Structure 1
Amino acid sequence: MTNRLNFAKTAPKAFKALIGFDAAARAGLDPALVELVQIRASQLNRCAYCLHMHTSDARKAGESEERLHMVAVWREATSFFSAQEQAALALTEAVTLISAAGVPDDVYARAAGQFDEAELGQLLALIFAINTWNRIAITTAKVPGTDERVAR
């Protein structure tokens, strides 16, 4: 499969705005947490392009292979993830799959118990950003392992 459209070139203002939003969303969050959230959303959305990018970035940042393999089954592998990471992954799943059940109060409360209000806002922005990136990559048929550093 080849790319259908080069979003960066065809919608440069929107692309640039999203780059800025993505950078702002990450600010102040633990880089390891950022990658875990992006990996989980990309798994749920079946975005091979973003999943390849974020697992590669996580490895380069020192993330262990063990934890990377456990992200998809984090609920069954809680010993691999901190309480804060688990809360972030649960919130990521709820927001990513929002049409299934909304964002349940208990999931939101769990995250609110692990992050202060500003961090929670950043986490939500990060989840919104990766879901947008996933939709762009899937819709435009981005090929995993190609031009990832150029695109973002």
Structure 2
Amino acid sequence: MKIAVGSDHNGFDLKEEIKKYLDSEKYEFIDYGCYSCDAVDYPDVAFQVAEDVSENKVDRGILICGTGIGVAIAACKYPGIRAALCHDTYSAERAQLSNNAQILTMGAQIIGPEVGKKVVAAYLNSFWGGGSERKVNKITNRENEFIAKSSK
């Protein structure tokens, strides 16, 4: 499994801790930035991760900003992407099991590194295939309707 990891400056320190965790667990990952605590606009990182997840260049994504909200909103603007904001293991597991979320988002100002690692583990160790497929398909179908309507 190849994972895209990205953050803005507010999420940089947590992203670095998550990268260490991924490395220790032998996950393959790509760091999409940012690369320091210098100010970065979170949509730029979120859009790139969402695009590469959508195009199957990576299997899943992890995005971090101050609250996790901004990167979730930005990533979900990319067609076909379901990004889920999670700060606990149950939500992270359900994001994948019930919603087939391709991207996990977290807030570095909300949770610390140890909880973050547990959230990531719960997300990465859960796999789609639950009874919510009908519901997720409704979301995808509605998105496709909006896309078709806007292209006319």
TM-score by length of 2: 0.31
Whichever structure has more strand as a proportion of its residues is: 2
Identify, as 1 or 2, the structure richer in helix: 1
Highest RCO, 1 vs 2 (Cα 8 Å, sep ≥ 6): 1
